Structure 1
Amino acid sequence: MPLPSNPHPIVSAFSKSLQLNDSKHKGEKKTGLQKTIQVLGWRNRHSQAENYPIEIKSPKEYNFQVKQFQRGEVEETYGTGATVWPAALVLVKYLEHLVSQEGSTAIKTFDGHMNIADFGAGTGVTSIAAALLFPRSFVLCTDGSDVVVELAKENVKNMSSKKCEKEEDDIVQVESSNILTTKYWWGDGSLLVALKKNKGSGAKFNVILVADCVLPKLYPIIPLIDGLDECMSETSVAFCTYEHRYYPEYDPKVYFCHHAAKRGLKVEQIPTAHQHPIYSVDDIELWKITRDHDHDGENIC
């Protein structure tokens, strides 16, 4: 059987690293092959584990675990949201990479005391990481599935035994940050209500996190854009990871960018060179989404 005309990006990267045979490219070959092996390692190492271990090294070192369920979709219990997907790790490690860049503009922008929303949080891994990486922040960990929200609540509560006074709202203190885990249907208005209830009428979201939710086979794209449009102020920034998967009806990336532009949202692709040196791969894109103050109806991605 012949190979497909467009092989998977990981396969392409592996093949390229093996083909750099001349002496001029020996160093590049060694580095490329080493990274490919490392990527294959972290993508598969804990995929079947009941408790997925996470290590964050910046600015302090943290080690924690989140419970996951691999067969949630097959058994019609948790769906796909109960798993730590590679795109979530790319996002977590990008945030870690931002914080580790001492003296960079990233540090000046993301220095704690922030309001952070996590869309489609699943296990809650990105919410927990954000709470640890950005001190004194208020994180809203959200999902659209009741059962997945309960899983995220369990994982968040396992991070701390100290509760805030508003225990009925499921607010948990994780280090110096607070996490509120709640259900949110993208664009239904409830998240802004929750933010203002807890942080005051003038509160706005500084950062929005979206890991692997641009997936039209499972989640409609327009409501996701509705949620971003609803929650993003003029100064908000959203970080979204998108894993390339085949979809027969249209290109999800092009579709997302087109409809985001209609809402005045600019989508920029962050190069892998600006991401974590190991947790960055060609088939998982990282997008930065902001308000387009010079909106011309087009996006660059």
Structure 2
Amino acid sequence: MKFTDSPVIELPVHDALLSIQQDNGSMHVGTSVWPCSLVLVKFAERWDPVKCAACDNPYADLLNFANKRGIELGAGCGVASMGLYLLGLHDVVVTDIAPVMPALKRNLKRNKPALKKTLKIAQFYWGNEEQIKLLKPPFDFVFATDVVYLEETVAPLVKAMEGLMADDGVVMLSYQLRSPEAHKLFWEMCHDVFDVERIPHEHLHPEYAYEETDIYVFRKKKKGQSS
């Protein structure tokens, strides 16, 4: 399901307001806003170490974006990148495939008053090793929302995640089951490469905690560690 069929989605992030224009008539899923992107941003906002400095914050280290590099895979309308940028991830590259670029560029331009800058974008097909090199890894944060829905893209996605993240970096994935076949293959491949932690549902933002959406944190397995 889409978050809503409304042509414009508004997402408050602390004192800013993102306004995302979606195209529900497009043939590309990347031009619509899906709940997973909102869930990730609002989770990070809830546990923002700057705003939550005095509270018992289990994610203070995870969400410390200061001086960190990030990259979004399959950014679509750019919701997650814009939201995490507003939460302190100021060195971020926003990526997607060519057909989605017009919607992405339009939304980055639309939100420039809130962002105060234009975020860096790059065309990226996950299986393209040359493009991975051009993105200049490693990144401290690799993040993606609702990107596991085609079985044939699973292997390139996992390879891109592994190839882009720093050895001590993390992948943050906001996930919703879309295809049983893609789901099975994705988790089989991930557990060979990463240690995976699921964020407890009660730790999501209470107003953006959809029952079918989960957030996972991936870290590279240590060398010699069995799956």
TM-score tier by shorter-chain length is 0.7 to 0.9
Aligned 1:115-264 pairs, distance under 5 A: 115-134=69-88, 137-144=90-97, 146-160=98-112, 174-175=115-116, 179-189=119-129, 190-195=131-136, 204-216=138-150, 220-247=153-180, 250=181, 252-262=182-192, 264=193
Cα drift, residue 257 of structure 1: 2.0
Aligned CA-pair RMSD: 2.4
Label 1:270 to 1:160 Cα distance change in 2 as closer, same or farther (>3 A): same
Distance between the aligned counterparts of 2:82 and 2:47, measured in 1?
16
| Aligned-pair identity (%) | 21
Which residue number corresponds to residue 34 of structure 1?
A: none
Question: Which of the numbers 208, 211, 215 marks the counterpart of 1:286?
Answer: 215
Q: Which has the larger radius of gyration?
A: 1
Structure with greater strand share of residues: 2
3-state SS, counterpart of residue 142 of structure 2: strand
Cα gap change, 1:105/1:271 in structure 2, threshold over 3 Å: closer, same or farther?
closer
Is 1:56 paired with 2:9? no
Corresponding position of 1:9? none
Partner of 1:84: 33
Which secondary structure does the structure 1 equivalent of 2:40 belong to?
helix
Aligned residues: 220
Task: Kindly indicate whether the alpha-carbon contact (under 8 Å) linking 1:131 and 1:178 is maintained by their aligned counterparts in 2.
Answer: no
Deviations 1:149-191 (A, max 9, x none): 1211121122227xxxxxxxxxxx934x762111111142424
1:113 alignment counterpart:
67
In structure 2, the CA distance between the partners of 1:106 and 1:268, relative to structure 1 (3 Å rule), is closer
Aligned partners of 2:194, 2:94: CA distance in 1, in Å?
22
Give the TM-score taking structure 1 as reference length: 0.66
User: In the TM superposition, what is the alpha-carbon distance from 1:108 to its structure 2 partner?
Assistant: 4.2
**Unmatched 5+ residue regions in structure 1?**
1-42, 74-78, 162-172, 196-202
Amino acid at match of 2:214: E
Larger relative CO (CA 8 A, sep 6+): 1 or 2?
2
